[in-house]
Amino acid sequence: MITPTPYWYLRHGETDWNRQGLSQGRTDIPLNATGLAQAEAAGRALVANATGDLKIARIVSSPLSRALRTAEVAADCLAHATGHRPLIGMDVGLEEVCFGEQEGQPMGEWYDDWIEGHYTPPGAEPFAFLRDRAVAALNRALVGPDLVLVVAHGALFRALRSAMHLPANVRLPNAVPLLVEPPVGGAPAWTLRRFD
């Protein structure tokens, strides 16, 4: 169960493999020029919207370079605008899912079955394992009194969506900040607000 605390979430910017529709998983593909521009745009969106009670005090990132570079760009934007650069920590639990033999291959028909738990590609991490790992890593990031920005990956956020009682198989665009807020008034699901 996810600790009922609001947080910001940011998927990394685009990579060449994203553009080509290839499964990245743990393969450490860097941001391309578009991804760097997306990370800067995300940083500007956070400067405009992560204010007051929504101010980002800390950033916790996946250690994979596409996420960490996105986190660094966002932190630089916040520092330039506010004079305060949030500290960036890393958590290996936020790494993208291991897709096994599917890494570097086009996304295929197997993806829905993987999320449903009916099929796992050889050498890949089952979706249920990913969900447990993602929830544990998020809960570690949420410890503390200040609002955190989590910078990670698309499949990892699908796992978090599942844990938040939201439809899991929804594609998260690259580098679009989300404010994620816990249920209120007995509602079962969390709410997501996009800041493009």
Query: Could you list the active site residues?
Result: 12, 96
Q: Which residue has the tokens 């007051």?
A: 52
Which stretch of DSSP H or E encloses residue 7? strand 7-11
**Residue 42 buriedness (CB in 10 A; 0-12 / 13-18 / 19+):** buried
User: Residue 124 CA to chain centroid, in angstroms?
Assistant: 19
Q: Which ranges in the chain belong to alpha helices (H)?
A: 16-20, 33-49, 65-82, 110-116, 127-141, 154-163
- Rounded CA-CA distance 67/71 in Å is 6
Residue 26: φ, ψ to 5°: -85, -10
Q: Measured at the alpha carbon of residue 118, what is the angle toward residues 110 and 102, in degrees to the nearest 5?
A: 35
Start-to-end CA distance of the chain, whole Å, equals 28
